[in-house]
Structure 1
Amino acid sequence: MVAENARNQNTAHSLDELLNDVPKNQTIGDNLIRAWNIINNDKYETIVCSVSGGSDSDIMVDICVRVDMHHKIRYVCFNTGLEYRATKDHIKYLEKKYRIKIELFEAWQHGMTIPKACTTYGQPFLNKTASEFISRLQKHNFKWEDKTFEELYAEYPKCKSALMWWCNLKPGKRNNISWNKWLKEFLIANPPAFTISNKCCEKSKKNISHKIKCDLMIIGVRKAEGGARASSYKNCYSQKDGETDEYRPLFWYTNDDKQCYEEYYGIKHSKCYTEYGLKRTGCCGCPCGRNLEFELEVLKRHEPNLHTAVCNVFKDSYEYTREYRAFCNEMNREQKIYYQITIDDFIK
């Protein structure tokens, strides 16, 4: 691996200069050319790059610094109220490494922290889509019944979209409750006793970012990540009439492309990756995380105060998530037994 700072990290003065030092990787080469052309386009006078301190964000910042010939980019990051200490330290490291200013937006000043949002609106559960529709159903005092859409719509006439989700009638598999195996059965058997909501991310980050005026917003989304956020985009660049355009420099990067860039340019990631062993650093301690239990163990070991905080903020959701996972395991076990009995019946 190339030692950190071994390669020139200064901004290139021309496209030829930029391409004089690139790895033999088609995706990275094409990406740098595209980044140069978009960021240095005269139509963009104000550009904002949203920095998270995550591994994708690290590469995005490196690309931006290399191609921003006119130094138009304003770097910003958001403190949601639940951030890793290692991430905060890494933001300072990036400022020093690239000689840039990363403007910190505090949720408590500009919006609402995650703890406050969870207290006010409810805690997230499973994923953003499920949290949104469960929240809507809760607001209508839904009884968690397995009835037809027609029957339920007659009873809850102002809750059509959430009822369509509940009855698996929305277009796209991902937009229905069946996308999460056994969720409907679980909710019927174990109705939530606490308020569920997906407002925490919206109030602590999204709403604040929308207040930042610019011509172009640069964000770190990769198609290879999967998930609802990545699948909502078709390409790396969105031009919006009358609105802020959006550029996603890493959109086409595979994991191999990402590793190639890291090794060639000597990208150093935060301790969340290098010491804690985390693979991703989204919202800290989020109940929707795939590796929730591992992340909680990491927090307990490396950042105990933050571990205490998330266990208080997301207490109800953590317990409910564990109940749901145990329910799924039991249902899968029973289903396996049922299918085995069915097969045995055929071979007697």
Structure 2
Amino acid sequence: MTGERAAEGGARLSNMQARINKGGSACTRTKGNMIVKLPIVDWTDEDIDEFIKAYNVPLSKAYTIYGADRTGCIGCPFAGKRLASSLKNLYDYEPLRYQAALYWLKDVYIAQDVQLPFDSDYECERRKKWEEMYWQMRYEMILKYRPEKLKKWDHQQGELF
């Protein structure tokens, strides 16, 4: 059983829609010979809030102390715009986990040009690696897969203009 919700968007929503379109159930998927149940896949944020209040569910300190609006995999490179704030929470409240995230995923973060101004050592390495190689790799990917988006590229900033 998982707490996956389509309301979180991205692949979760796409996967649920694909199951339904193939005649399957929104709340059940298979993985090999294993059946995975998703009992809250169709719940909205309001449904979650109502359930928490109705059953007096204690919340994780990720919400109550760290101020996170989602938990999931903290430090996950797929977190998009939430990644930097997720890493900031780890840095502030769970420094050993922050170090572990950087140990395993630092180059992934750098390749995505994730900026962490609170960590001067990381920022120094990010700027150096970005200038040496990652801006070129990013440029080549955009050129290959999104050439219509490429008007003017500023490799110092890693941004399209």
In the TM superposition, residue 239 of structure 1 has moved relative to its aligned partner by 7.2
2:95 alignment partner in structure 1: 304
- CA–CA separation in structure 2 for the residues paired with 1:244 and 1:318: 33
Q: 2:106 aligns with which of 309, 315, 330?
A: 315
Which of 252, 259, 269 lines up with 2:59 in the alignment?
Answer: 269
Q: Look up the equivalent residue of 2:10 and give its one-letter code.
A: G
Matches within 5 A, 1:44-123: none
3-state SS, counterpart of residue 79 of structure 2: coil
CA distance in 1, matches of 2:85, 2:59: 19
Aligned length: 111
Q: Does the CA contact (< 8 Å) of 1:221 and 1:230 recur in 2?
A: no
**Superposed CA RMSD:** 2.2
Relative distance call for 1:243 and 1:314 in structure 2 (3 A) is closer
Runs of 4+ with >2 A deviation? 234-240, 242-247
User: What amino acid is the match of 1:309?
Assistant: A
Q: 2:110 & 2:58 partners in 1: Cα distance?
A: 36
> Residue 262 and residue 315 in structure 1: after superposition, are their counterparts in 2 closer, same or farther (change >3 A)?
same
Q: Distance in 1 between matches of 2:86 and 2:104?
A: 15
- Whether the aligned pair in 2 keeps the contact of 1:220 and 1:251 (CA below 8 Å) is yes
Q: Based on CA coordinates, which of the two structures has the bigger radius of gyration?
A: 1
Q: Deviations over 1:207-238 (max 9, x none)?
A: xxxxxxxxxxx222212111113321234333
Aligned to 1:35: none
User: Structure 2 counterpart of 1:253, which letter?
Assistant: W
With CA pairs under 8 Å and 6+ residues apart, which has the higher RCO, 1 or 2?
A: 1
Contact 2:5-2:42 within 8 A present in 1 as well:
yes
User: Is the 8 Å Cα contact of residues 236 and 247 (structure 1) preserved in structure 2?
Assistant: no
1:219 counterpart residue number? 2
Of all paired residues, the percent bearing the same amino acid is 33
Distance 1:237 1:289, change over 3 A: closer
Runs of 5+ in structure 2 lacking a partner?
114-134, 139-156
Q: Aligned partners of 1:318 and 1:238: how far apart in 2?
A: 33
Q: Quote how far apart the aligned CAs of 1:252 are.
A: 1.6
Given residue 65 of structure 2, which amino acid in structure 1 is its aligned partner? E
Q: TM-score, normalised by structure 1?
A: 0.29
Q: Which runs of 5 or more structure 1 residues have no equivalent in the other structure?
A: 1-217, 335-348
